[in-house]
Amino acid sequence: MRITFRFIGSLVVVVAAVAFFAAFLQVRQEKTKQQDELERRSRLLAESLEEAMEPHLGKGSSKTLERLVEKFGNRERLAGVAIYDLNANPLAVTSHLTTALPTAPLVVRESMEKKIDVSQFGRINNKQMHIYSLPLGIEKGRTSGALVLFHDAAYIQAQLGSIWRRTFWRVLIQTILISLVTLLLVRFAVGGPIAQMAEWMKQLRLGTDSESFKLPKEDLFAPMTREVATFAKHLHQAKIAVEEEARLRQSAEAVWTPDRLKEHIRSKLDGKPLFVVSNREPYMHLKQGRATQVIVPAGGMVTALDPVLRACGGTWIAHGAGDADWDAVDEQNRIKVPPDDPLYTLRRVALTKEEEDGYYYGFSNEGIWPLCHIAHTRPIFRPEDWQAYQKANQKFAEAVLEEIAQVDEPCVLVQDYHFALLPRLLKEKRPDARVALFWHIPWPNPESFGICPWQRELLYGMLGADLVGFQTQFYCNNFLDTVDRALESRIDWERFAVQKENHATLIKPFPISVAFPSAFGDIGSEDKAKMDRAALLKELGIKTRYLGVGVERMDYTKGILERFRAIERFLEKCPNYQSEFTFVLLGAPSRTHIKRYNEFMAEVETEADRVNWKFKTKDWKPIVFLKKHHSHREILPFYQNADACLVTSLHDGMNLVAKEFVASREDEGGVLILSRFAGASRELRDALLVNPYDVDQMSEAIRHALEMDSQEKASRMRRMRETLKENNIYCWAGNLITELAQIRLPQSLAAKGG
């Protein structure tokens, strides 16, 4: 209350000061105006009387002058008239002023001496008067006397006093209104939200459920609400982690959590920051008219690694591909992310359009990508793309070296096939650095990889790392076979290590995963509330009983065309599901600069139209293709409401969509239909595993999923969730960092880095 009164008092003082200062300026302006007006009237009246009185001045006819003085002395606000001779002796004076003017006013002599009209304000008979003296006879060359007018000037003070009184009452009324309005605002707009926040904090302190509690959203409290909401999320997550850790200790289990990973990495790296390098950035700034939008790019790597950096901090070095990316960074091309809750640093690397075309679209995605995926698309290798790939790897190496310059024995995690040369470039400059390369996509057999004209250079670059990780043991075996055939090296099959030029590289499987229990850690608890299926279908404009979902980056390796044909076959074999089953594909356009991807997008749209045209009715169609980038917030309702999630990759290193779907099903509902050619099939064995090339098998899996009883669904989903719980992304990062930290660097090499 004391603060409220202090606040009101300050407002009142400021308002009063402003009002009285304005009144002071108005009074001064009004006073000057009234005095000038009185001066003007006096001059006009004196000049009109001058003609009547001047002829009688030198003739000694004082009675005539007195008569004229009395005649004109009764006008409005004219208190009197007096005529003086050359010696300032009175010749005629208005009767009631005779006793009040024993001597002539000073302005009389002054006006006659200077031969100009002179005025002044003074008091006569305790009244404020304006005295105006006009010399007479000037036109004849000499002064013969003076005409003096006396005006009552008290009305000026009265008007000025009226202004001050009005100002006083206005300030008084404003003070009362301001006090009332301020009290109401403080009570409802400030006190209310603060009381809400205090109640929320009380609930949080007492441990009661505050998830559904709504914090104030007023503009005044927007920054505080954001920070409090973030604090609540972190506190809630920490509470869950502590409770889970305590429960697991009692049962002698251990589950990786963000806090556990943070402490683990701090212990293993002695408090040093973690550095991650990838082509794709975790947050991209795009221009939307005059505004800027921040999106999370599609792809499993971002889904997997963002929670790791959120948990342990560090720096993520990536290609800045957004058209507004460079407006958001500082002078060192850095920005703190996530935007709403900064937890780590994003360092952006700039590439020219020619470099991006050759390194990314050319060599990486028209060469290495189809080379490593058995999807029957011929890889293309151009010398100019290889040169761009080398140049881009060198540019990223320079950026990484800048970031790790002040860190002894830094830990660098290089991601994926875009940077096969980067480990060697880093180790040559910083032999004390611990470098790991994780290859997210499959590794083919030696015969397939031998197609690449620069296979030796790629392998040599990769073996610059201290640790090379793959999704499965099968890919590790393929890699070692490839090295054995292509390079002169010594392979230790027991340790799964390669010795090349006095440098050892460990080769190990690290199946990547997602955050658990939530794969979408950036979504608040309110947004996670399950959307009603009816509302979801209404948004889509369809009516259906069963819902299937697929979430894909539009790529020819994902088995999308095969999936559509399986849906067609399913509806042919089971006509009773026509008008009852709809499959929704959330497809994010990808690599549209590449001809094969443009052709594939057209093929997908054509195939979806063909199947729809064959079966659709007025308010139903079997396939809904939503072609755009979808945020986690948009994807989650589809996962939560789907009867079946179809992941039918023709060849995939892991495919995290399958794991995202399982992680999102806290209700233990839904069925996962999963390609046995995806790495995830090695872990999620309770999914319905299919051969995506076998259309009949996939159609039968859809029927099985829709007709499976709820108990079996829950049992399968529960076991898959237990698998994810034990092998989440924090476990992946913890195991990877553990292996990397255990590598002993020769002291001579470490000294070179220092």
What are the tens digits of pLDDT across the range 662-681? 999 999 999 999 999 999 99
pLDDT, tens digit (0-9, with 9 covering 90-100), for 46-66: 887 777 777 766 655 567 777
Closest by CA position to 97, among listed 151, 156, 35: 151
Residues 6+ apart with CB under 8 A from 205: none
Residue with tokens 């009184």: 165
Rounded to whole angstroms, the Cα distance separating 532 from 637 reads: 8
Q: Which of 31, 15, 58, 50 is nearest to 128 (CA)?
A: 31
Among 54, 147, 144, CA closest to 93 = 147
Q: What is the pLDDT of residue 250?
A: 43
- How far apart are alpha carbons 752 and 747 in whole angstroms? 9
Q: What is the pLDDT of residue 218?
A: 54
- Of 168, 167, 175, the closest CA to residue 9 belongs to 175
pLDDT in tens, 580-619: 999 999 998 888 888 899 999 999 999 999 999 999 998 8
pLDDT, the chain, mean:
86
Distance of CA 232 to the CA centre of its chain: 19
pLDDT tens per residue across span 384-405: 999 999 999 999 999 999 999 9
Contact 583, 624 (CB under 8 A): yes
Nearest CA-CA partner of 238 in 255, 256, 259: 259
pLDDT confidence tier of residue 651, bands split at 50, 70 and 90: very high
pLDDT digits (tens, 9 = 90+) for 313-370: 899 999 999 999 999 999 999 999 998 889 999 999 999 999 999 999 999 999 999 9
- Contact call for residues 468 and 439 (beta carbons, < 8 A): yes
Model confidence at 140, pLDDT cuts 50, 70, 90, reads low
Distance in angstroms (rounded) separating the CA atoms of residues 562 and 566 = 6
Comparison of pLDDT for 235 and 42, the residue scoring more:
42
For helices 695-707 and 560-573, angle between their N-to-C axes, nearest 10 degrees:
60
- Where do the H-state alpha helices sit in 541-670? 560-573, 595-615, 632-641, 656-664
- What is the pLDDT, as a whole number, of residue 213? 52
**Phi and psi angles of residue 676, each rounded to the nearest 5 degrees, phi first:** -75, -5
Helix axes 422-429, 383-403, angle to 10 degrees: 40
- Residue 722: CB partners within 8 Å, gap ≥ 6? none
CA dist., res. 595 & res. 60, Å (int) = 121
Q: In what order do the strands lie in the sheet with 118-124?
A: 90-93, 78-85, 145-152, 127-136, 118-124
Cα distances (angstroms) measured from residue 248 to each of 231, 240, 265, 664: 25, 12, 21, 22
- Peptide bond connecting 282 to the previous residue in cis, omega within 30 degrees of 0: no
Q: How far, in Å, are 544, 686, 704 from residue 698 at the CA level?
A: 21, 16, 10
Is there a contact between 306 and 282 (Cβ–Cβ < 8 Å)?
yes
Q: What pLDDT sits at residue 251?
A: 45
Mean pLDDT, residues 239-260: 63
Q: What is the pLDDT of residue 252?
A: 44
Integer-rounded Cα Rg, in Å, for the chain is: 45
CA distance 726 to 734: 12
Question: Of the candidates 423, 437, 431, 443, which has an alpha carbon nearest to the alpha carbon of residue 483?
Answer: 443
What are the distances in angstroms from CA 316 to CA 50, 92, 294, 297, 737?
97, 104, 17, 15, 16
| Distance (Å, whole) CA 304 – CA 300 | 6
Nearest CA to 676 out of 655, 691, 697 is that of 691
Q: Which two tokens stand for residue 679?
A: 């790495």
Confidence at residue 8, expressed as pLDDT on a 0 to 100 scale: 75
User: Per DSSP, what are the bridge partners of residue 689?
Assistant: 674
Residue pair 546/577 in contact (Cβ under 8 Å)? The answer is yes
- Which residues, at least 6 apart from 337, have a Cβ–Cβ distance to it below 8 Å? 282, 283, 316, 343, 344, 345, 346
**ω before 575 within 30° of 0 (cis)?**
no
Residue 658 and residue 678 in contact, taking contact as beta carbons nearer than 8 Å: yes
Contact 580, 536 (CB under 8 A): no
- Number of neighbouring beta carbons within 10 Å of residue 523: 16
Mean pLDDT confidence for 210-228: 59
Q: Count other Cβ atoms within 10 Å, centred on residue 355.
A: 18
Of 711, 651, 666, 658, the closest CA to residue 687 belongs to 658
**Cα 727 from Cα 256, distance rounded (Å):** 8
Query: Quick one: CA dihedral 159, 160, 162, 163, positive or negative?
Result: positive
The residue to which tokens 């360092």 are assigned? 347
Q: Name, in order, each residue with C-beta under 8 angstroms of 295's C-beta and a sequence gap of 6 or more.
A: 283, 284, 286, 629, 631
Instruction: Give the percent of the chain with pLDDT over 90.
Output: 51
How many Cβ atoms are within 10 Å of 430's Cβ, its own excluded?
25
Cross-strand bridge partners of residue 588: 553
